[in-house]
Amino acid sequence: MSQHDDGLRQAFDNLLDDRDHLFTLLDTIDWDAQLDAIQDVLGRNRAAADAVASNIKALEEGVRTYRGRYQDHAVDGHVDAMYRSSYSDAAVSLSAVGMVVPMLESVLSQSFKSLGAMYSAKRMSPPHHQRWQRAGEHVHRWNCQWYFGSSGPRTDIISGIKQLSEATGLANWLEPGTTDWIAAMLSYRNRVFHGGFEWSIDQREQFETLIAERNWDRFFQSARTNDNPWIFYIRDEIIDDMPRRMASILDSLGRFAKNLPFELVCQT
């Protein structure tokens, strides 16, 4: 690329926000509208959950205030509200991960597929990485749902996203901790979508072990019965941060696209 072309590109780039450059990879998704919709629903769900918590607190106050048969009634009401909230809180977590994770998958999978098509069209090779050596000309080499390990390829979106992010250089632009957050949210989504609110005992124990191994207690908490895990939830602060986290990923993708080789993105 000549100095003149380089100067023109820099001048044009300075007029755009980081996220605008994502159009280089993905121009078929209105990510801002999706984020707005997700944020609106999360806000309504948070208001509903806060109302449930306020009602429980009021019932708890009644337990302390009333005496005799009125206290017995208050205790029953408080216990019933606490029990029902175990499920309504799980519904909030499922709703949150059910909106954010599919958006995440769609944005990443389509962006990687587009990037692969660009490399193919320009007959260019991606940055050196073990994934490309293992994948060769495999049809799914640009598919983030596939992981290419030493023992061969397998469908594994959690490992696939991490590996392909590193293989393309996207990982260098992501906010610290993003790949761990993605792995945690995907792991929870996979279980709650197939297991509902109350997973099998084996699934509960396995996820509790995974939380301990990966230090994911900052993401999740659980209701317990007889000191054993019963229902798992995404922590409130993690849910509330989801729109910002997703926006950060979009911005990172934009910065990544902005810094792709000129020869790869030019239209000639």
- Summarised one tens digit per residue, pLDDT across range 193-252 is 999 999 999 999 999 999 999 999 999 999 999 999 999 999 999 999 999 999 999 999
One-letter amino acid of 205: E
**Cα–Cα separations (whole angstroms), residue 60 to 16, 56, 70:** 54, 6, 13
Nearest CA-CA partner of 211 in 241, 225, 194, 191: 191
pLDDT at 22 over 60: yes
| Residue pointed to by tokens 């100095």 | 3
CA–CA dist 23, 2 (Å, integer): 24
One-letter amino acid of 63: V
- The pTM score is 0.87
CA–CA dist 18, 95 (Å, integer): 29
Would you state the pLDDT for residue 55?
79
State the chain's mean pLDDT as an integer.
90
pLDDT at 1 over 70: no
Task: Specify the 3-state DSSP secondary structure of 147.
Answer: strand
Percent of the chain with pLDDT over 70: 88
CA–CA dist 234, 253 (Å, integer): 25
Domain ranges of the chain: 12-127+169-265
Would you state the pLDDT for residue 76?
67
DSSP 34: H
Nearest CA-CA partner of 95 in 19, 38, 168: 38
Region 133-140 average pLDDT: 96
Percent of the chain with pLDDT over 90: 73
Residue 70: pLDDT band with limits 50, 70, 90 = low
Region 104-114 average pLDDT: 96
CB 107 within 8 A of CB 31: yes
CA–CA dist 107, 264 (Å, integer): 20
DSSP 127: P
